[in-house]
Structure 1
């Protein structure tokens, strides 16, 4: 029996649900029950009748699942999968910003840790942010942790005054304008698809800017037969699955999140077998963070 079969047998035996983020390795996405963006997976875990959830992603994602499903057992196959961008947002620095801007609403990207969500008025995803920000009853916004996504939102919403926390995603931040220009010269007919976590110079070259799922859906529905894709390379698995006859060009500077790639089939097997690396969170922080997630639903209509 191979490792995949053993994982599937264990999953059935323990009545578990395996969810995987779109940046995971191909073999993890292939074996997962549900693949998607981080908050989508947390909602699916909550809606499932399974009480044991294996979350293949980085820690803040598994925390979000636990915020929504406090009575479920949430496991993560590797306990070293932190998110560098989420870890840049520090409570004491956010409190300083709140003191400086007492009338501002704190809006945190879903890619943030529990303690930051607990101090936020509302959380947003990259796809829901504009709608939510339009519905917030304040013209002043403190946005964290990603300055690039925050800058993109500020461009779309000139009526709002943004204070941006200086965090960023190292995987998206390292891509520079010149590299995209070279690809554009080489593949002039291919639309450029860019995640808003990229810097402004790169975003300005994009034919389409969107969340991970939005980029995948755009490539599937577009009549173009090829794309220059400027986001984490895990998305290529789903893009090729939905559009096997299309061409997807990565950046020469590899866009690979090392923490997302820490989870292997062996990690997943051990996690299921031993039920290790359970997510535990402080209940007071969970309740406060849940309010920010609840507001995300209320303000997105």
Structure 2
């Protein structure tokens, strides 16, 4: 009971401070349920990027991970962008360094660099275009023919894009440790237990092609794609292969449907470092401002702007 009272108090204070600071809270779908509940917008990387680009708020509190707050800062150089916990990193973003990209560019002067939005600002600054899991297929399909393409850093998403577009990509061997841990054996068990369920699978998942072999009618979708599909589908049961934070949003938007995680312990510890108390403290003290040097931000902004125009 005491914890519930504290949660309500913090939520009320956050709402008060939002108005006082002219602030907006953007939260990723993998955030804790109580953090999602105080957010003005909950979504995936593409949706959050678009909200960050068009917000009129003076302060953006980003309940996500560091690269997401960087993206908001790049798109809003005149606004204050806050990250409630500077420890909210990303194993995928950390898997590639700017030097890796620069080396490839020097070896492929006519090449095109496609950077997943899950990358650091310095990597985005070296890219020709950024993508999210929601629009990567469409972006790559529209690239000029006959030029080498470097897709980074997620190899599973890259393999999916390669399969869907028929384009030959050079893939960086990076992975999200949460999605990479979702394997075919997890899917097999639930196929037997839930034979009538629809299967929603994030393209970053390690099961990749084997998942589609086991379940040919499975839907490979971004987090936002999962939400839209589940809300519109006549099905009443879904097996979900992604970080389990999305289940709160799915159950909230479709309370009459059942959602079963493929892997109940598919938890991003970086996302979960952000708590309601940290959101409150960040707003109260304008704590943990995220800044990107303008010489980096200017180049990264071009790649991000190209991403926002697609899908």
Q: Is 1:242 aligned to 2:249, yes or no?
A: no
Aligned to 2:10: 3
Instruction: For 1:167 and 1:256, locate their aligned partners in 2 and report how far apart those are by CA, in whole Å.
Output: 18
| Cα distance, 1:40 vs structure 2 | 1.7
Aligned to 1:218: 229
Q: Gaps (5+ residues) in structure 1?
A: none
Instruction: For 2:214 and 2:299, locate their aligned partners in 1 and report how far apart those are by CA, in whole Å.
Output: 39
Q: Is 1:76 aligned to 2:83, yes or no?
A: yes
Aligned to 2:159: 151
1:174 to 158, 181, 185: 181
Seen in structure 2, the aligned counterparts of structure 1 residues 16 and 210 have a Cα distance that, compared at 3 Å, is: same
Helix, strand or coil at the partner of 1:161: coil
How big is the alpha-carbon RMSD for the aligned residues of Structure 1 and Structure 2?
Answer: 1.5
Q: After superposition, what is the alpha-carbon deviation per residue over 1:33-75, rounded to whole angstroms, capped at 9, x for unaligned?
A: 1111123223213322211111100010011111111000000
Which stretch of the first structure deviates more once superposed, 45-54 or 161-170? 45-54
Moved over 6 A (4+): none
Q: Gaps (5+ residues) in structure 2?
A: 1-7
Decide whether the 8 Å contact of 2:50 with 2:308 is kept in 1. Answer: no
Helix, strand or coil at the partner of 2:196: coil
Please give the TM-score of this superposition, normalised by the length of structure 1.
0.95
| Cα distance, 1:97 vs structure 2 | 2.2
List aligned pairs for 1:19-98, cutoff 5 A: 19-98=26-105
Aligned length: 299
Which stretch of the first structure deviates more once superposed, 233-242 or 143-152? 233-242
Instruction: For 1:297 and 1:47, locate their aligned partners in 2 and report how far apart those are by CA, in whole Å.
Output: 11
Instruction: For 1:152 and 1:69, locate their aligned partners in 2 and report how far apart those are by CA, in whole Å.
Output: 32
Aligned to 1:274: 285
Instruction: For 1:260 and 1:191, locate their aligned partners in 2 and report how far apart those are by CA, in whole Å.
Output: 27
Aligned to 1:231: 242
| Cα distance, 1:258 vs structure 2 | 0.5
Q: After superposition, what is the alpha-carbon deviation per residue over 1:175-216, rounded to whole angstroms, capped at 9, x for unaligned?
A: 111111011001000011100001222354451001000011
Which stretch of the first structure deviates more once superposed, 251-260 or 208-217? 251-260
Instruction: For 1:144 and 1:184, locate their aligned partners in 2 and report how far apart those are by CA, in whole Å.
Output: 31
Q: Is 1:99 aligned to 2:106, yes or no?
A: yes
Decide whether the 8 Å contact of 1:175 with 1:202 is kept in 2. Answer: no
Instruction: For 1:268 and 1:104, locate their aligned partners in 2 and report how far apart those are by CA, in whole Å.
Output: 41
Decide whether the 8 Å contact of 2:179 with 2:243 is kept in 1. Answer: yes
Which stretch of the first structure deviates more once superposed, 21-30 or 198-207? 198-207
| Cα distance, 1:155 vs structure 2 | 0.5
| Cα distance, 1:253 vs structure 2 | 5.0
Instruction: For 1:221 and 1:240, locate their aligned partners in 2 and report how far apart those are by CA, in whole Å.
Output: 13
Instruction: For 1:290 and 1:252, locate their aligned partners in 2 and report how far apart those are by CA, in whole Å.
Output: 36
Instruction: For 1:162 and 1:128, locate their aligned partners in 2 and report how far apart those are by CA, in whole Å.
Output: 16
Decide whether the 8 Å contact of 1:192 with 1:205 is kept in 2. Answer: no
1:135 to 130, 142, 148: 142
Decide whether the 8 Å contact of 1:105 with 1:138 is kept in 2. Answer: no
Instruction: For 1:18 and 1:205, locate their aligned partners in 2 and report how far apart those are by CA, in whole Å.
Output: 40
Instruction: For 1:28 and 1:295, locate their aligned partners in 2 and report how far apart those are by CA, in whole Å.
Output: 30
Aligned to 1:257: 268
Instruction: For 2:308 and 2:271, locate their aligned partners in 1 and report how far apart those are by CA, in whole Å.
Output: 27
Helix, strand or coil at the partner of 2:57: coil
Q: After superposition, what is the alpha-carbon deviation per residue over 1:268-294, rounded to whole angstroms, capped at 9, x for unaligned?
A: 111011101001111011000011112
